[in-house]
Structure 1
Amino acid sequence: MSNFWHPFGQLYQASHSAVVFDRGEGVYVYDEDGRRYLDGTAALWYANVGHGRTEIAEAIAAQARKLAGYSTFGNFTNRPAEELAGFLSERAPMAHAQIFFVQGGGDAVETATKLARRYHFELGQPERTAIISRVNGYHGTWGFGTSVGGIDANRQGFGDLVPDTYRVPYDDVEAVEAEIVRLGDERVAAVIAEPVIGAGGVYPPPPGYFGALREICDRHGVLLIADSVICGFGRLGSWFGVERFEISPDLVTFAKGVTSGYLPLGGVAIAEHVAAPFAREDSPIFRHGPTYGGHPTCMAAGLANCHILEDEGILERGALLEGELLASLKPAEKFESVLEVRGGVGLLAAVEVAPDLRAKDPGAVDRLAGTVRRNGLITRVLSQGLAFSPPLIVEPTQLEELGQIVVESLREWEATAG
């Protein structure tokens, strides 16, 4: 039995039936027995430039030899942090963005939601603490992220969570405004939304949703937080994902693809007007931040990764290949066990298992994922089905391979279940 307690893993099963990965190369990973798998999830929505990029490994090693780590609290800094902040600020979907570095996506959500409340406090509106999010939204599993999350299973059993958080349907922008009106403009700090809902089921937004959401937030003086942890760094074909919808959020959370997972890193891009109350000579300190924020070795990984995304034209592939990923999975809809295939906005998609089947057999999705894995493809298990988000370097022939494995696995799985 292993002593490693896996995140989002059933303790007994994970410790007795672990799949031990040994190495990665391009869009493939290999286990300790040498078996190759097509990485259909880019590890966990993040290996955007693929596995085994020696340029990133070399940048990490060089920085670790020079200055592996040092605090950036107060006025301490390092050159890689300054360079990456400048790089991201120039490409952010708001002018003159400040970049607040953290360790991952959960930290980024924690930072953005706390900052939204503190921003209103500094404007003399301390009663503006309500955060509105969407059903099916996923915003990590830290305190604020769990509280604003829209996946019920992730919120259960923890007792009282962060108060003053509210959820509305993910596809009804009018419901957002109705909730703001119900609560009162004077109480609402921010709305948080993923450009495309990821872990909650891969739900692209309805046409015009984000443009209307931006107008609603402006009308009521509410900050708009775009949670681009999954959607950024090419997953939707742009740096932060939201550019696709031609809006400028007030805050953008990011992580995952910023280093393609080579080292942990996340952050928040913050619009100039949100930073303004903290930017004066006599402004208060925003008393928040992790020990490893701005960690120089992680910064070096981010810089190397971002240059690869830009210099090799990888950034745009999330949009260029989105139709081919969806088309490769569409044949799965012919199976009785499949409700629908979703995707088409960015290089991410989902195959949803029929609800009646899931109701009769709660372990159905896990068993389907096991069949897919035995056939050489790694998928992400969701409550409704399987998600797919391969590395952005994936080729059309490999997307065809991905779809063929899913279809063959469904055929085998239905035959066995029947």
Structure 2
Amino acid sequence: MAMDGDTRPNDLSAFWMPFTSNRQFKKNPRMFVSADRMHYTTADGRQVLDGTAGLWCCNAGHNRPKIVEAIQKQAAELDYAPAFQMGHPKAFELATKLVEMAPEPFTHAFYTNSGSEAVETALKIALAYHRVRGEGTRTRLIGRERGYHGVNFGGISVGGIVNNRKFFGSLLTGVDHLPHTHLPAVNSFTKGQPEHGVELADELERIVALHGAETIAAVIVEPMAGSTGVLMPPKGYLERLRAITEKHGILLIFDEVITGFGRLGSSFAAEHFGVMPDMITCAKGLTNGVIPMGAVLATSDIHDAFMQGPEEAIELFHGYTYSGNPIAAAAGLATLETYREEGLFERAAGLASYWGDGLHSLRDCPHVIDIRNMGLIGAIELEPIAGAPTKRAFSAFLKAYEKGILVRTTGDIIAMSPPLIIEKEHIDTLFGTLREVLNEIQ
């Protein structure tokens, strides 16, 4: 290949884009060139209000000075340090800050580089935990229909989104799934947790009866399912799931890649719901989406089970080249400080009611069959076009972009999760524009 620097900057062919209709996009690309606080700037100079916090990740908004400065300073001071048998101070400092922010049972953080890797790590820790405790028969993993746990093999195996699974072979063996909690016939247009569906957690007892508790290592669920279209846990559901897992000695993992760092008005959904799992996966908002980083938060019971044998022995044969990367750690520290200094979690909790009222005001728009919300998350479910699923919502996404707002679609569901710095006037603009969009699409 020629290396003469003559590649055209506007040649879009080389980049195989993720989760994108590549051919459609490259015919009419949508390009962002800069961002600041609540807005992106497009290549043609338009301002687009960010209604999705990037991709559920820029919780503190864009171009935040403390985070930018931390990254710049760290890159000049220590750009990289290995995490295998070596360390650097900021990785330890961030881990301490993380467990201080997390609910009380969580005492340790294991670094990854994404939510997908955090899920893989938590699943491996769960399997290894039972092994080191002499219960090596516990190898089965339980996920949930419509669950999203990233795109690595473990994540898509316990996940339950069909298109993410069906192209990639037999996946992991020994995996089963709970039913999802979406019951539109009885829970439509819900604000917060729906009233019906707690009994769906009892399906775990059926799975235990089928396979035997002694074969099951862990259950992993999103406390509030995001990427599948914002599905809230029914009242009492998570509590019952926790009780059943404790009864049978099964670990419970909360995938909080989306719900972590203030999205529901608390540090984590575990705190919001008052239900404590054995591990929490997180990423996205950990560094405000600026630098890839994830983590698994574990209790002392999990961690200490590995701390046996000779001190010089490696306790867990797992990790990544970039675990605890110095620049990512610096970004994480600055992000957590920004959340704390600006009271963004409390801010999200304070705006949740106004957000929910604005969202539900769209109930009378054409094609809307359901609306649901919690914290600063919301979903509008549209009636699909017969024979053309997803087309109506995608049309809404394109028209919204043209009108200056960024939303996200999954299937025929419009999902929104704005930066926590959003103001009431931004909420008014977002839903006012969305009303125009919904009235115009076919």
Give deviations 1:209-245, integer Å, cap 9, x for gaps: 1111111110010000010000000111122221011
Structure 1 window deviating more from structure 2 (315-324 vs 402-411): it is 315-324
Of residues 363, 378, 382 in structure 2, which corresponds to 1:353? Answer: 382
Q: Does structure 2 conserve the Cα–Cα contact (< 8 Å) formed by 1:94 and 1:249?
A: no
Match of 1:108 in 2: 118
Report what 2:81 is aligned to. Answer: 70
In the superposition, the TM-score normalised over structure 1's length comes to 0.95
Q: Is the 8 A contact 1:5 1:15 kept in 2?
A: no
What is the one-letter code of the residue matched to 1:191? V
- 1:246 paired with 2:274, answer yes
Aligned twin of 1:25 = 36
Q: Aligned equivalents of 1:244 and 1:209: distance in 2? A: 14
Residue 338 of structure 2: aligned partner: 308
1:318-337 correspondence runs (5 A)? 318-337=348-367
Q: Secondary structure at the match of 1:189?
A: strand
Are 1:225 and 2:249 counterparts? no
Q: How does 1:194-273 map to 2 (within 5 A)?
A: 194-273=222-301
Q: Is the 8 A contact 2:389 2:412 kept in 1?
A: no
Aligned-pair CA distance for 1:362: 4.3
Q: Does 1:297 align with 2:327?
A: yes
Match of 2:306 in 1: 278
Partner in structure 2 of residue 391 of structure 1: 419
Identity of aligned residues (%): 38
**1:337-380 Cα distance to aligned partner (Å, 9 max, x none):** 1111111x22111111114x254454222111111111111011
For 1:325 and 1:164, the matched residues in 2 are separated by: 41
8 Å Cα contact 1:26/1:52 also seen in 2? yes
Q: Contact 1:328/1:402 (CA < 8 Å) preserved in 2?
A: no
* Preserved CA contact (<8 Å) 1:6 1:14: no
What is the count of residue pairs matched by the alignment?
Answer: 411
Shift of 1:388: 0.2
Q: CA deviation at 1:107?
A: 0.4
Who is 1:369 aligned against?
397
Out of 60, 63, 80, the position equivalent to 2:71 is 60
Work out whether 1:168 is the aligned partner of 2:182.
no
Shift, 1:17, TM fit: 2.3
Deviation, structure 1 residue 178:
2.0
**Aligned ranges 1:131-210 → 2 under 5 Å:** 131-171=141-181, 172-210=200-238
1:316 & 1:164 partners in 2: Cα distance? Answer: 41
- In 2 relative to 1, CA 358–127 (structure 1 residues): closer, same or farther, beyond 3 Å? farther
Q: SS where residue 355 of structure 2 aligns? A: helix
Change (3 A) 1:137 1:358: farther
What is the DSSP-based 3-state SS (H/G/I as helix, E as strand, rest coil) of the residue aligned with 1:247? coil
Distance 1:360 1:33, change over 3 A: closer
Q: Deviation per CA, 1:153-188, whole angstroms, max 9, x where unpaired? A: 111111120111111112211112222222210111
Letter in 2 for 1:392: L
- Conserved 8 A contact 2:394-2:412: no
SS at 2:345's partner residue? coil
Q: What is the one-letter code of the residue matched to 2:383? A: A
Which amino acid is the alignment partner of residue 122 of structure 1?
V
Q: Which amino acid aligns with 1:399?
A: I
- Aligned equivalents of 2:216, 2:241: Cα separation in 1: 14
CA pair 407-15 structure 1, distance change in 2 beyond 3 A: same
Q: 1: distance between equivalents of 2:161 and 2:353?
A: 27
**CA deviation string 1:244-264 (max 9, x = no partner):** 111221000000011111111
Shift of 1:387: 0.4
Equivalent of 1:12 in 7, 11, 23: 23
Q: Distance in 2 between matches of 1:336 and 1:96?
A: 46
**Runs of 4+ residues over 6 Å off in structure 1:** none
Provide the residue aligned with 1:41 in structure 2: 52
Task: Give the gaps of 5 or more residues in structure 1.
Answer: none
C-alpha distance in 1 between matches for 2:326 and 2:155:
26
CA contact (8 A) 1:329 1:406 kept: no
Q: CA RMSD in A?
A: 1.4
Q: In 2, Cα distance between the equivalents of 1:16 and 1:5? A: 14
One-letter code of the match for 1:292?
Y
Counterparts of 2:55 and 2:404 in 1: how far apart (Å)?
17
Moved more, 21-30 or 295-304: 21-30
